[in-house]
Structure 1
Amino acid sequence: MRSRAVTESRSVVVTGASRGLGLASAAHLYRHGWRVVAAMRSVDTGMAALRAETGAAADDPRLIGVRLDLLDEDSIVAAAAAIAAAVGAPDALVHNAGIASAGTVEETPMELWQQMFTTHLFGPVALTKALLPGMRAAGRGRIVVISSAGGVRGMPAIAAYSAAKGATERWAESLAGEIAAFGLGVTVIVTGVFDTDIITDHGTQTFRDFEGPYGRHHATIDKRGRAAMKIAHSPEKFAKELAKALDDTRPIVRRSTGIDATSLVVSNRLLPGRAMHQVSRLAMGLPRQGAMRPGVVKLGIGTRALIAAAKVIPRR
């Protein structure tokens, strides 16, 4: 077990630290002796929330706010310089910042796809590249990438999010192979459903047209998604898992938080792709293949029962 003195000397950068999982994580790590660099778009608002959560003083050297907008290259460069000036080479870098969207591929505008990949992949890559020389020279450091169920399997109606998270996981795996020889490691945390908004400023960006061709999809997915929120985990649970991940020592570690995420990760390893497709379809209540072709009549439960009975009743 690490001594408290050693723990207190460790520094961690947490992106997206102004709310949700990032806020809970930054607060938890601060309370456990870490020197926390909280990277966020709005430093004044975010740091006020963090200080209220932790009771830290405005001049506390263990809680440092840095402005970071992953959509702005100049902001990333400035943030990396500010981090280096504040703590040198950080002991850990947690890529937590993220946004979410809902809508099918056909409905989602290309601008959102660009924003999604910049926030989840291009921005984190740029920040990591800026900090890696110092971390390599120090011969230590853990880079933590936050994934989700959507990164394990491509999920209907969140294609942009799933694609970005999946790409982020592949980047993390590649990075781990490159930096292990220098004493650095990577951890991927697959998250389940948490009671927080993974978002833009005003909630999940939605492009769902409930009256359009995918309305039937959206209706069932929305209903089941709301039911899933009843068992959502608290952000504090994630923060505790993150704290454990920062003590990982192997070159690449894959963790999952929550029974929902763990079940999906295990199922995806054991079941073939076609089986996972059906599992996802049934879980979301989506129509079977071909059920919505033009001219196909949707039969009610009673009609389907009569047809099934007719198939088994012997003819005279």
Structure 2
Amino acid sequence: MSNAPLALITGAGRGIGRAVAEALAPNHTLLLAGRDRDVLARTAAELGAPHGAHVLGVDLGEPAARRSFLSEVTGLEGQLGARVQVLVNNAGAAHSAPLARTGDDDWARLFELNCTAPFVLTRALVPGMIAGGWGRIVNVASTAALKGYAYTAAYSASKAGLLGWTRALAVELAAKEVTVNAVCPGFTDTDIVADAARNIQATTGRSEDDARKALARFSPQGRLRSPAEVADLIAWLVRPGAGGVTGQALAIDGGETA
């Protein structure tokens, strides 16, 4: 049985989540959560995590699925003889549309996955962190939580909500050796940006490559973030030496929000 801290990463099969799994694998036992078990299983196999990687399939946007998932996490904690000490709430979804075409269902779906699901998981796992005397929670938000982008009202609001409870909970847990932070990436080379580029292509007639370049130009550095860059920041935040950093919204955007 490994003595490595137990880390739960949501949305772990692709993009930022997979990069986080790679960054944490050398020093953590991993719980990899996401909707596609096959993708997660391949990720677990490819990581070669020395302390083990366990796959948990779940659609975190569904309340009933979250309840079953948390029961499964509790069962794994018992099997492993450890409690989750690191929680990376990375799973999320985006939506881009003018206000008039942003429906109630779009709004509710984004809040359910981007804001409510991370809160529910955090609420369930914090007691174990407190009992163990140590914990790290990192929420993957967005620069959309810090500034305005046209056609992203629902997405921006859901990420701003995530950031709001991050700050409140950080203060609440400050004396418990449990930190709560948010990372706010700018446009990052993930499936979400690929979808955004295709949407721009469909609505403007520009090529997908031109659309990607337009998104990259939001950053003064003129490029998209890489998932590994974001993962490196998250890996630093979960280190014991980062205990003095809590309640922060750490932008990783090449200077866009400077």
TM-score by length of 1: 0.69
Contact 1:41 1:68 in 2 (8 A): yes
Find out whether 1:162 has 2:178 as its counterpart.
no
- Of 223, 227, 231, the residue aligned with 2:223 is 231
For residues 257-272 of structure 1, the aligned pairs below 5 Å read 257-260=252-255, 263-264=256-257, 266=258
In structure 1, what is the equivalent of residue 110 of structure 2?
A: 116
Q: Provide, for residues 245-293 of structure 1, a one-character-per-residue CA deviation record: whole Å limited to 9, x for no partner.
A: 1122124233222413xx40x3xxxxxxxxxxxxxxxxxxxxxxxxxxx
Contact 1:71 1:115 in 2 (8 A): yes
Contact 1:116 1:164 in 2 (8 A): yes
Structure 1 residue 226, shift from structure 2 partner: 6.2
- Of 9, 13, 17, the residue aligned with 1:14 is 9
**More contact order relative to length (CA 8 Å, sep ≥ 6):** 2
In structure 2, what is the equivalent of residue 105 of structure 1?
A: 99
Structure 1 residue 34, shift from structure 2 partner: 1.2
Structure 1 residue 232, shift from structure 2 partner: 1.0
Find out whether 1:63 has 2:57 as its counterpart.
no
Q: Provide, for residues 65-124 of structure 1, a one-character-per-residue CA deviation record: whole Å limited to 9, x for no partner.
A: 112211212221222222233234211101100111111211222211111000111111
> Please, which runs of 5 or more residues in structure 2 have no aligned partner?
none
Find out whether 1:90 has 2:84 as its counterpart.
yes
| Runs of 4+ deviating beyond 3 Å | 202-211, 220-223, 226-230
CA distance in 2, matches of 1:155, 1:175: 27
In structure 2, what is the equivalent of residue 132 of structure 1?
A: 126
Q: Partner of 1:198: helix, strand, or coil?
A: helix
In structure 2, what is the equivalent of residue 149 of structure 1?
A: 143
Contact 1:13 1:36 in 2 (8 A): yes
Q: Partner of 1:64: helix, strand, or coil?
A: strand
- AA aligned to 2:183 is I
CA distance in 1, matches of 2:116, 2:200: 23
CA distance in 1, matches of 2:106, 2:94: 10
1:256/1:226 Cα in 2 relative to 1: closer, same or farther (>3 Å)? closer
CA distance in 1, matches of 2:201, 2:253: 28
- Of 17, 23, 27, the residue aligned with 1:28 is 23
Find out whether 1:81 has 2:76 as its counterpart.
no
Q: Provide, for residues 160-182 of structure 1, a one-character-per-residue CA deviation record: whole Å limited to 9, x for no partner.
A: 11111111100111111222232
- Of 153, 165, 171, the residue aligned with 1:171 is 165
CA distance in 2, matches of 1:114, 1:222: 28
Contact 1:98 1:198 in 2 (8 A): no
Q: Partner of 1:38: helix, strand, or coil?
A: strand
Structure 1 residue 155, shift from structure 2 partner: 1.6
How many pairs does the alignment contain?
243
Contact 2:141 2:162 in 1 (8 A): yes
**Higher radius of gyration, 1 or 2:** 1
Judge which range, 79-88 or 15-24, deviates more: 79-88
Structure 1 residue 209, shift from structure 2 partner: 8.8
Q: Partner of 1:91: helix, strand, or coil?
A: strand
CA distance in 2, matches of 1:55, 1:61: 9
In structure 1, what is the equivalent of residue 238 of structure 2?
A: 246
Contact 1:70 1:76 in 2 (8 A): yes
| Aligned-pair Cα RMSD in Å | 2.9
> Please, which runs of 5 or more residues in structure 1 have no aligned partner?
1-5, 267-316
Structure 1 residue 210, shift from structure 2 partner: 4.3
